[in-house]
Amino acid sequence: MPSTIVTEEIELIHSDKGPGGGGFSVGGGDGGDSGDSSGATRVPQRAYITGMLIALAGILMFFMAFVSAYIVRKDMPNSAWIPLQVPRILWLNTLILVVSSFTLARAHSRFSARDDEGFGHWWATTTFLGVLFVAGQILAWRQLAAQGIFLASNPSSSFFYVFTGAHGLHLLGGILALLYVQFRATRKVTRGTAIEVVSMYWHFMDGLWVFLFLLLYLGR
């Protein structure tokens, strides 16, 4: 969707512009609704984008610690490692999450086109798919548990639960953020940024899951 990407960039540049150009904007700025909370409008909108990029770097390191532990632990001599058959439902879950990235991109482009209704529709679809993914992950856990494979059964299952659990928690946070944007982040000045920031997070969690899934599937 090249056209979408172009509008995204325009939106980004647009939301970047604060009064005064260079530094931070002070006291209200374009929205004119200052005084509602301390500091909120004193921060340029781009700081939220920066903040999310930084947060994603930290989250990436957190998961990479697990990933490197996985790689080391798997190939240890006497590792007692029994490869885990990943539950088949994970394929479906993965598909759902990947599709949710596309619906999110769609919502984003609807927002850029100032189509609020279309935005709300696609954004809600994304949220729904996110909930579906988490439900699917829980189902995968239950399937494993039914086979008698628990957290402590084998190092491979320990890592499976750690990966899916840590990712699932992060995704739940993403769902809360999606809901927040849909229902609460209604201020005109900040809504574009909120959508931008949450989208970055969601796409990142999608990509991270694809990576973890491939690791669990190919690297078992």
| Interacting residue ranges for other proteins, rule: CB under 8 A | 20, 22-24, 26-27, 38-39, 42-44, 46-47, 50-51, 54-55, 57-59, 61-66, 68-69, 72-73, 76, 78-81, 151-152, 155, 158, 162, 166
Of 29 and 130, the one with the shorter C-beta distance to other proteins is: 29
Specify whether the CB–CB gap between 212 and 63 falls below 8 A. yes
Of 6 and 69, the one with the shorter C-beta distance to other proteins is: 69
28: left (phi over 0), alpha (psi -120 to 50) or beta: left
Q: What does R_g of the chain's alpha carbons equal in angstroms?
A: 20
Of 105 and 197, the one with the shorter C-beta distance to other proteins is: 197
List Cα–Cα distances, 178 to 22, 24, 122, 142, in angstroms: 31, 27, 11, 27
What the block records as the tokens of 180 is 């927040």
- Shortest approach of other proteins to residue 98 CB, angstroms? 25
Of 1 and 71, the one with the shorter C-beta distance to other proteins is: 71
Of 48 and 102, the one with the shorter C-beta distance to other proteins is: 48
- Shortest approach of other proteins to residue 56 CB, angstroms? 10
Which stretches within 81-154 are classed as H helix? Answer: 89-112, 116-146
Cβ of 42: how many Cβ atoms within 10 Å?
14
- Shortest approach of other proteins to residue 52 CB, angstroms? 9
- Shortest approach of other proteins to residue 54 CB, angstroms? 5
- Shortest approach of other proteins to residue 3 CB, angstroms? 29
